Copies of this chain bind each other. A is one copy, B any other.
Amino acid sequence: MKSIKVGLLGFGTIGTGVVRIFQQNAGLLEERLGARLELARIADLDIVRDRGVSIPSEILTTSAEAVLDDPDIDLVIELIGGYEPARTFVLRAIANGKHVVTANKALLALHGDEIFAAAARKGVDIFFEGAVAGGIPVIAAIKENLCANNFRSILGILNGTCNYILSRMTNDGADFSEVLRDAQANGYAEADPTFDIEGIDTAHKLAILIALSFGARVKFDHIHTEGISDISALDIQFAGQFGYKIKLLAISKMSDGQIEARVHPTMIPLNYPLADVDGVFNAVRLLGDFVGPVMLYGRGAGMDPTASAIMGDVMAIARNLLTSSAGRTPAMAYRPEAIRDLPIKAMDEIVTQYYLRFAALDKPGVLAKIAGILGRHDISINSMIQPERQVGGAVPIVLMTHEAREANIRKALQEIDALPEICDRSRFIRLESGLL
C-alpha cells in the first residue's frame, strides 16, 4: 500500500487535534483513501510539553526547516498562525514542491495573492478549509458541489467568541465587559481579544468567502468592519422588544457588478435563518442562482472541529497525489486568469433598515425635532419605543427606520447629536431582514 508523508508545523491546540485524528482514525483514513497517511515530522518550538498524545521522540523537532526541507515529505500542514514566520514557511514549502494545508485566515486574507500565485507556478495544491468556520465544510461546498451557481449573497456568523458573548448578553441580560471577562476565564476568548471582538477575524474569513464565491480579488482592508464592543445590554433588550436579535454578521451581496462587503453587529428577526445560531457555533448562508439558499452550521472553532477540516484537506491532497492530479480544482475556485478586481460599494451607498437609539432630555418637542431631521434626510420611521424609565437622566428614544441610505443616516445623526436636548452620542445598528 502506498504511503503519503505529512509534516506538521505547529503543535498547539489544533496541531494536537490533527495528531489525534492521525492516531485514532488511521484505519478509517486508509479505508477511505486506499493508501497510508503517515505523520512523518512535527516541528514546534516546544517539544517537551505533554499534549496528552504519545509521539515517538524522533518525529519531534524544533526546526521548521527539518520539515520544510525534508525531501520525503509530500505535504506540509501549517498551524503556526499569524503573518510571520508562517508566510515564509508556506512559501518555502511551496518552493520545495510540497503541497500545503493551512488554517491561517489572517495569512490568506493578507498574503493570499502571493501564496496562491507561488503555488500555481509550482503546480502544488494549497487547501485551507479550516481557515473559515472551523469544521463546517463551506469552502469545499463553494469550490466543488455548488460551483455551478452564480452566488448572490453570503451571510455568516463566523466568529465563535463574538457569538458566545452576544448569546450570553442576550440570554443573561449581562453587559459586554462582564461577559468578556467570563469568556476569557473559560477559554472562549483570548487574553487580547481585539482580533475577535473588533470583527477583524470575521473580516478575514469574509474576504476568503467573497473571493471563492464571486471570483473577485478583495482587499481585506476594504471590508467595512465593526466589532461588538460598543453593543450595550440596553440595545439587546430593545432589539428583543422589536422581535430582533443582535449578531455579528459577515455580509456580502453581489448586484450589478458591485459587491457589498461588511462586518458589523446586525439586528435580525427572531425567525431569520441565522437567529438560532447561538454560543460558539458558526453558520454560513449562501444564496446561489440555482441552488437557492443553502445553510451550513456547526462548530466554528476548537481543536477537534478544526482538525476535522484540516484532515479533510489532507485527504483531498492525498487523493490528488495518488492520481497525479494536483491543481485539479483551482485554489481560489476560479482559474487565476478569471479572477477580477471588483469594486466594493461605499458604505455611504448601502441601503438598509436601521435601529436608532437617542439619549434625550425628557422635554416636550424633542421627538418632533428628531423626526424632523430624519424626515429632511429622507429617513422614515417604521416603529418606535419610548420607555418610561430614565437612564442616566436621559430618556432613550428608540426607532426602527424603513430602508434608508447610510450616508443620510450619518448626516442625520450628526445633526441630531448637535441638538441641545441630546445627552449622549446616538447609536445605530443595521438590520438584515429581507431574504435576498
Question: A-side interface residues toward B, CB under 8 Å?
Answer: 17, 20-21, 24-25, 28-29, 31-34, 129, 135-137, 140-141, 144-150, 215, 273, 276, 288-299, 304-305, 307-309, 311-316, 319-320, 322-325, 327-330, 333-335, 338
Contacts and interface: CB of A to CB of B under 8 A. Distances in A.
Contacts of A145: 129, 137, 140, 309, 312-313, 316
10 contacts: A20-B290, A25-B148, A25-B289, A144-B316, A145-B313, A146-B308, A146-B312, A291-B308, A319-B329, A323-B327
DSSP class of A's interface residues: helix, strand, loop or mixed? mixed
Across the A-B interface, give the 10 residue pairs with the lowest CB-CB distance, nearest first.
Answer: A148-B311, A323-B325, A145-B312, A137-B145, A31-B338, A325-B325, A135-B291, A291-B308, A294-B298, A290-B308
A28 B324 CA distance: 26
A316 B298 CA distance: 25
A31 to B, nearest CB: 4
Contact of A25 (B149, B313, B323): B149
A324 B323 CA distance: 8
Given A276-B276, A292-B135, A323-B328, A315 B140 contact: no
A24 B149 CA distance: 10
A146 B150 contact: no
A147 B144 CA distance: 15
Contacts of A296: 294-297
B135 A141 contact: no
Contact of A148 (B140, B273, B308): B308
A148 B127 CA distance: 15
Residue picked from A140, A146, A299, most chain B C-beta under 10 Å: A146
A29 to B, nearest CB: 6
